[in-house]
Structure 1
């Protein structure tokens, strides 16, 4: 079994497209309006921004949470600044001998998005 698609609420597809294009560093893969659907490809998993979807808490792995926040600038409101939540002594949940960094932001549509990166201490 494999995760195929995640849906996230978006009132304004143009605004959401601008935000997620910067965050994901890629363009949308498809748009159907009506009914109000915008898709991005996350390495084979579809991110669907949908006017009728509920808000979800999604976590996206980024190369570096600090650099991602800098790139987003004023596009995102920071809910929780970057911080280490865990050190991986084994590979159960992440790469061995790496710290797991998290930051949380509000996207252009008011949804909370978690950003995760793995860095050597």
Structure 2
């Protein structure tokens, strides 16, 4: 079994498309309006931005949490600044010997998005 699609609420598809394109570094792969559906590809998992979807808490892996926030630009609401949340001793939840960095931002639709990066332990 594998995850195929995650849906996230978005009232304004243009505004959401701009935010997620900056965050993900790639454009949407499909748009159907009406009914108001916008898709991004996350390495084979579809991210669906949908006017009728409930809000979800997405955690997206990025190369560098601080750089991802900087790429979003001024005006981005940072809920939680980048910080180490966990050090992985084994490979159970992340690469052994790495710190797991997290931060949380608000997308322009008011949804919270978690950003995760792994960095070798200092």
TM-score exceeds 0.5: yes
- The structural deviation recorded for 1:75 is 4.9
Contact kept, 8 Å, 1:3 with 1:45, in 2: the verdict is yes
Instruction: Describe the SS at the equivalent of 2:19.
Output: helix
Gaps of 5+ in 1: none
In 1: Cα distance, 2:20 partner to 2:13 partner? 10
Task: Give the aligned length.
Answer: 121
Gaps of 5+ in 2: none
Instruction: Describe the SS at the equivalent of 1:84.
Output: strand
Contact kept, 8 Å, 1:27 with 1:40, in 2: the verdict is yes
In 2: Cα distance, 1:47 partner to 1:87 partner? 28
What residue is the counterpart of 1:85 in the other structure?
85
In 2: Cα distance, 1:71 partner to 1:27 partner? 15
Report the TM-score when normalising by structure 2.
Answer: 0.97
Pairing 1:1-121 to 2, within 5 Å after superposition: 1-120=1-120, 121=122
Report the TM-score when normalising by structure 1.
Answer: 0.98
Runs of 4+ in structure 1 displaced over 2 angstroms? none
Contact kept, 8 Å, 1:103 with 1:116, in 2: the verdict is yes
